[in-house]
Amino acid sequence: MTRNFLNFKTLILAVASVGLATSCSSDDVSKSPNPEPNDYRWITIAAARMGSNPGDGNGGTLIYAISSEDAKDPTKTVEPFDNGFIVPSNRTARLQASEDGNTIFNISYAGDTGGNYSKYTVKGGQNFTPTGSEISIAPYVGSAPRWIKLFDGDQTGAAVYVSTEHEINDNGTPNDVTDDRYIRTNAKIGVVTLDLVNSSINNFEEHSIPLSAEEEANGYYFSRIDMPVLNAAGDKLYIGGRLSKVDPATAESENDYEILGSKTIVLDYPSLLNPTVITSAVGNGNTNGYRSINAFEYNGSVYQANQSDPNGSHILKIGADNKYDNSYEFNLSDALGVEDAYVLAWRPAANGKALLAYRHAGSVEGVAGAQGFFALIDLNAKTAKKLDAIPYDPDFYLFQYQGFAVDETEIYLTQAPVGKDGNIYIVETETGEVTKGAKLQNVAGSHFIGTF
């Protein structure tokens, strides 16, 4: 007979948390005149308040919007921990923004409201006006879903989860445990797509996702998935994944094991049917990312970061044939001249040049974790250069970094160590020029998690 033992269930998290954001001093942004309509883009600043420990971000997420004009003005001061908008969520929000910056999307993470979708029109300052109706995706992916906004003109969101069970074949007596044999671990994924405009469910499908017979016999399985992205044709959905492993002799989890080639789950879109798995021959490790979008479509292909690669993070390429392009090799450790580069977050502009948040083997251990850095990378030239014009600090923590606001070829970022003041910086990706913008006023133990 076959016995199934539930190992664990990963209900993939979402966008959400609670917060307050910015009010200002004598030169604060609230006292500056509003630019004329259409002359600016709203830049929404996200900040995470400390919960129990510095940098944990569990005290709530705070958002505050300023014009791009004010964001570039170093005489302005933004105080997001005083008068900001409270984003509904039990813990750190996973926020999404419309491509023009005028709308913020949120799905509450955990708690009584976990899984509730809502959206807000950005009005400036702490003014985020609810728009449309709310809907819960908790019946499909639980109260702590992982979700992302697809790049289809702000039409659709996608949320995912995975649950796993060990399959054991028992041919012996109840006391003869030596006859128990591990078969495989079944990874069952769920994917829901959400109409962001009309607040309704588009589709929901569940699938068991097998690996190769050899990989499964050795105890490998998908333990976490995240960061769906559409291909250029709009007919395939790619979902990043992380593999874990058990010892086939005992079905106990292993920590020290061979890291396999990076994998992505491919589904037909919009049906969410016909799952397949593709594997990179260039990079190893995870493709699910963490808090930020991990894969983007550019120039007909999808470019994807990987993490936990023994050779350092890569930018991987999936071609129009929906397979990894193994002729494209972009090792970030080599490009940056560091050891064990690890992508924390990244975002390209339309010109194929991207801003990258990363750490590496030489990062100092700060109050909340390893020190982070920013670099400008070029997807076409496969080059990367650390942005030295941005100040760094041992407590500059970017592991929870989520978003970059993109305005044509300019990308906005937040720089502030945990519990210390900092600034907005604007990177002109065409030239690499870095502009110091508005001051960010911090509070003890808290940090900033991006711009939207």
Question: SS3 sequence, 66-123?
Answer: EEHHHHCCCCCEEECCCCCEECCCCCCCCCEECCCCCEEEEECCCCCCCCEEEEEEEE
Q: Which residues contact 320 (CB under 8 A, 6 or more apart)?
A: 231, 232, 233, 300, 301
Other beta carbons less than 10 A from residue 333's beta carbon = 20
| 8 A C-beta contact, residue 189 and residue 265 | yes
Spell out the per-residue pLDDT of the chain, length 452, in tens.
333 333 333 333 333 333 333 333 334 554 334 444 557 899 999 999 999 999 999 998 999 999 999 999 999 999 999 999 989 877 777 899 999 999 999 988 888 888 999 999 999 999 999 999 999 999 999 988 899 999 999 999 999 999 999 999 876 444 444 556 899 999 999 999 999 999 999 999 999 999 999 999 999 999 999 999 999 999 999 999 999 999 999 999 999 999 999 999 999 999 999 999 999 999 999 999 999 999 999 999 999 999 999 999 999 999 999 999 999 999 999 999 999 999 999 999 999 999 999 999 999 999 999 999 999 999 999 999 999 999 999 999 999 999 999 999 999 999 999 999 999 999 999 999 999 999 999 999 999 999 99
Task: Count other C-beta atoms under 10 Å from residue 308's C-beta.
Answer: 16
First-to-last alpha carbon distance for the chain, in angstroms, is 53
| Amino acid in position 342 | Y
Entry pTM: 0.90
Cα–Cα distance for residue pair 382/334, rounded to 1 Å: 10
